[in-house]
Structure 1
């Protein structure tokens, strides 16, 4: 993915990181059960 001016926005960057963490936690919980 090309790093553009969109990723420079703090809100969008934080949102992307949060979505990644949530996806990871959901995957771990699904694999555990």
Structure 2
């Protein structure tokens, strides 16, 4: 695995985790 691939996966992972946390906070806020 090349470094660029690792960085790309890391960015996607961060975005996914961030969106999940954001969605959870919004749902918790509305409920």
Task: Normalising by structure 1, report the TM-score.
Answer: 0.68
Structure 1: stretches of 5+ with no match in the other structure? 1-7
Structure 1 runs (4+) greater than 2 angstroms displaced: none
Higher helix share: 2
Structure whose alpha-carbon radius of gyration is higher: 2
Q: CA RMSD of the aligned region, Å? A: 1.4
Q: Which has the higher contact order (CA 8 A, sep 6+)?
A: 1
